[in-house]
Amino acid sequence: MLDRDGTLNKRIPDNYLLKEKDILWPADFKDLLKIVNSDIKISVVSNQACVSKKLISYSDVISITKSVISPLFEIDDKSIFICTHQEIENCFCRKPKPGLILKSLEYFKISSGNTVFIGDSEKDAEAARAANVRFIGVCWDSKCLGQKCVHSLSSAVDVIFS
């Protein structure tokens, strides 16, 4: 499982990724090909309150998410798990709650013990912990998460295969 903003693409400071032309990939983005070329199932798990704020449609978020990952592989819409709620709505799917991760586990029919979630925030780490999945934090674009953190996608891939 992969978080989107801050993990697969660089964050737009104080803003949302609302247009495909604004996608910025990390320098080592293509190192994720090692995961893609394995038999590991991949999903994207992302909070996107921009939908409930009416800044973008759900279908456009899905389209942009597919564009973020498309340099590596094509992803099925059903492998993209998006929470469209704002924090104040207190839903079960919005990270740091585990709802999206649990939906992904259910969709792929895999156990939490065989799952890794790569994200960039403490909310991602909390959601992984709540869903009982292994977490790898990547801090290249965000606050370092200390001992749970690596400093590149390449290092995250190395951890998975070590």
For 68, the token pair is 């973020």
Chain position carrying tokens 């292994």: 134
Q: What share of the chain in percent tops pLDDT 90?
A: 83
Q: What's CA 89's distance to the chain center, in Å? A: 21
Q: What is the CATH number of domain 20-161?
A: 3.40.50.1000
pLDDT tens-digit series, residues 37-56 = 898 999 999 999 999 999 99
The total number of residues written for the chain in this structure: 162
Query: Each residue's pLDDT tens digit in the chain (162 positions)?
Result: 999 999 999 988 889 999 999 999 999 999 999 998 898 999 999 999 999 999 999 999 999 999 999 999 999 999 999 999 999 999 999 999 999 999 999 999 999 999 999 999 999 999 999 999 999 999 877 778 766 789 899 999 999 998
Beta strand ranges found along 28-146 (DSSP E): 44-47, 80-83, 116-119, 134-138
Q: Looking at residue 77, what DSSP letter applies?
A: G
Q: What is the pLDDT of residue 9?
A: 95
Q: Environment class of residue 113 by beta-carbon count within 10 Å: exposed (0-12), middle (13-18) or buried (19+)?
A: exposed
Helices (H) and strands (E) in the chain, counts: 5, 5
**The whole model's pTM is what?**
0.93
Domain regions of the chain by residue span: 20-161
Q: What is the pLDDT of residue 147?
A: 66
SS3 at position 9: strand
Q: What is the pLDDT of residue 12?
A: 86
